Amino acid sequence: MRYGDLKYLSLGEELDKNQYVTCQYYLETDLPIVNAANAIAAEQSTGTWTKASTLSDDIFERLAARVTEIEDLGKKTVDGQILNVARTTVNYPLEEFSIEVGHIPQILSVIAGNLYGLLELKNVRLLSCLFPDSVIRKFPGPNFGINGLRKVLDRPDRPLVGTIVKPKIGLDPKQTAEYVYKCGIGGLTNSKDDETLVDQSFNRIDDRVPAIADAIDRVRDETGHRIVHALNVSTYVKDIVEIAERAVENGASQIMVDVLTSGYSALQMLAEADLGVPLHVHRTFHGAFTRSPYHGMAMEVVSLLSRLSGGDGLHIGTFGVGKMHGDPEEDMASRNILFNDIGLKTVMPVCSGGMHPGLVEKLVSISGMDVQIQAGGGVAGHPDGVLGGARAMSQAVDAVYKGIYLDSYAEDHIELKKALDKWGYVPGSDHV
């Protein structure tokens, strides 16, 4: 039961990357590293804890995963136990996957499946995965992407700036619509339901959608400004497209899904339904498996799977600036996955969680201008209320776009000044 049969090792072998899904793992083990890497490849393809009499040479040659690289990272001591630490690259043959159409659930069962339960692996983390073009083409990808979102909002180059309706739950449709209206008047481009609001008795979707649509129309009629609101439709997969389609018919300007609780298939079904509005992807629940740097799965993988499945915008963290746990380097890796050239439209990175106007300069100095900044409490908690908070966030983004430091811009922008006085100011990396 110690995976001593090392036939899955192909160290140094140059494989045709077009014929494999390539994954990199971090692992900690009390086994020799080669045995542990072999255990991953075996368990996730053709092997098991002992030699199976039914495993023919033909099955092995066609479907066995191959370990092509092991990087020894030394040793660490955990609870008095000395563990071997490494990174390893495992390649899975395409025939192992159901790829006649894009199929995230079965892919995840292979690349992030039983390996987490192996006693031989004290910790294991899926760091990254690389799909060949033949697999990527099976998926819908974003319908709008960054450029499409910018076109909808008539905002060609400034950061998008948005809010999350607060409190998370409790407001009725009329109150929610009034919140969105004030945010639009205050200059925000985006608003959204929070991840826990869907169709509760106090705020039914069928009532919320037309009320918000009317508020957005009022903003447009009064100011010419464009704002969209992401409506959360996270629910049973069998119902999600119908609910989203009805919402769009009633005036929804953007659809939101909690991808990790609803599933990648729910997101993919919404993308393939081609609803005519952008899809906003929330990552709630991700911390259960992304937070540890030693175990679980990196957010970079979630970003890639969400892009394949059709998200137009995705929460990636705040580069260590906001309230949520996050490693700036990992957040940047997630951002880069949304931008790199894989033949699909790029995805708007959304930075949310403890954001307020005083953090905008620092955030954009890291993220660049292609970013959507979301502030919930940083809008609703402003001394002048939601309208003042929306104006302060908009002013902060305008200042950064113009290359003016927030403390200077606040001298003649009272809402921004009040926000900085209340929550403080974290200068950008180039602030003198």
Dist. CA 336–CA 332, nearest whole Å: 6
**Angstrom distances, CA of residue 178 to CA of 172, 216, 231:** 10, 10, 15
Q: Domain coordinates of the chain in residue numbers?
A: 17-136, 145-423
State the catalytic residue, choosing from 103, 122, 166, 418.
166
Angle in degrees, 0-180, between the axes of helices 360-367 and 328-339, rounded to the nearest 10: 50
CATH hierarchy code of domain 17-136: 3.30.70.150
pLDDT at position 328, please?
Answer: 86
Dist. CA 162–CA 191, nearest whole Å: 5
Looking at CATH, the fold of the domain delimited by 145-423 is given as TIM Barrel (3.20.20)
Q: Is 200 left (phi over 0), alpha (psi -120 to 50) or beta?
A: beta
Catalytic site residue 166?
yes
pLDDT lower than 70: segments of the chain: 1-4, 99-101, 324-325, 431-432
String of DSSP letters for 14-44: ---GGGEEEEEEEEEESS-HHHHHHHHHHHT
**φ, ψ dihedrals at 118, nearest 5°:** -65, 125
Catalytic site residue 282?
yes
pLDDT at position 52, please?
Answer: 85
User: Judging by DSSP bridges, how do beta strands 348-352 and 372-375 pair with one another?
Assistant: parallel
State the catalytic residue, choosing from 103, 182, 192, 282.
282
Dist. CA 88–CA 115, nearest whole Å: 13
Do residues 289 and 296 make contact, with C-beta atoms less than 8 angstroms apart?
yes
Read off the pLDDT of residues 157-192 as tens digits, 9 standing for 90 and up: 999 999 999 999 999 999 999 999 999 999 999 999
pLDDT at position 101, please?
Answer: 60
Q: Model-level pTM?
A: 0.96
